[in-house]
Amino acid sequence: MFSGERLSKGPIPEHKEVRLPSGIILMFPGQGGLQALAEDVHGESIIQDTLEEADDVLKRSGSLSLTNLCLRGSPKELNLPENAQEALLAESVALWRLFKSRNSDILKNIHASAGHSAGQYAALVAADVLKFADALRLIQARSVLTQEASKMHEGVMAAIFSKDPSIIARVKEFCAERGVNIGLFNSPLQIVISDEVKKVTELVAGISNQFAGNFKARNLDMKGAFHSKLMEPVQPAFARLLNTVHMSMPKFPVILGTTGKATNTPSQMGEDLLNSFTMPILWDEGVKNNAHSAFIEIGPKPLLATFVGQTIPEARVHTAYNMSTIDARSFVADKVA
């Protein structure tokens, strides 16, 4: 079991990092990688069964069912706060199960999994740390609690892009100087700031004056400032739920979002889920720490492959999101010795 009260007070304690051998790292995207599943997977029984299982656990039906939303939902419907996180997990696990069924002979080459923000729940399911039903209940609670926190303190997330890594480095300095929180470190070319609306608006205006024409900023389609102190009021409630969930020893290590380091320890994985409410996601660190690996992204829309390529230009990456890409055997045969 996970001890939520003990783990709700700060950073993850030091632990011995797992050094991963060369092999495959599975990646599961966050909400930026959410869209309806590709049409050519709709007829696969494993996809249908997974979505129906999710609906049974979450007691969704009719037009609000994940079966309906994940197969036919519009971007607007899918990205509603009450739908997005649950839909993302259901789609990611459905695609992971389909991937497993088509790639059984290469599963031995998987040496770790990693999830970007909300994608961490799918990464834990893939590693057999969480049962799918428990992951669904946790992500449902995360959805409800983050909406509650957003009503208490209005926040916003804005992605900052630049082709010049020195611009992003300077933006990081601006954030530190002005006390603006960075919620996601995606790559040397992209970060996501996450804070109060006024602070984010003023920061974007400030860097616009400084770096006009050398960067782009875009507000994310998410209600609230995830991975920031604005989420702190709801952490205790999530800790209490997490304390009731059994986390098993993993089939392979999991790379933690808030440290970028791999671990085999379930309690560390639980701490990471809890701490990610208020701490930044160090995606780029996780990639850099495993530069020798090959990466397979599993999710409804390719996203993380871009971040990996921006961090390690020579990285070997495969994306699995439809029937033409779900078979990764040739990629593994070519890329993994």
Q: Are residues 145 and 118 in contact, defined by beta-carbon separation less than 8 angstroms?
A: no
| Confidence (pLDDT) at 292 | 86
Residue 3 pLDDT: 42
Q: What is the mean pLDDT of each run of 10 residues along the chain (337 residues)?
A: 43 58 89 96 98 97 95 95 96 98 92 97 98 98 96 95 96 95 98 97 91 90 92 97 97 97 97 98 96 94 97 95 95 71
Are 317 and 46 within 8 A, CB to CB?
A: no
Q: What's the pLDDT at 333?
A: 79
What pLDDT is attached to residue 9? 44
User: What does the pLDDT read at residue 2?
Assistant: 47
SS3 for 37-53 is CCHHHCCCHHHHHHHHH
- pLDDT for position 21: 55
Backbone angles phi, psi at 322, to 5 degrees: -145, -175
| Inter-residue contact 158 to 221 (CB < 8 Å) | no
What pLDDT does residue 16 have?
58
Domains of the chain: 4-151+228-329 (3.40.366.10), 155-219 (3.30.70.250)
> What are the residues facing 158 on neighbouring strands?
193, 219
Q: Is the pTM of this model over 0.75?
A: yes
Amino acid identity, residue 302? P
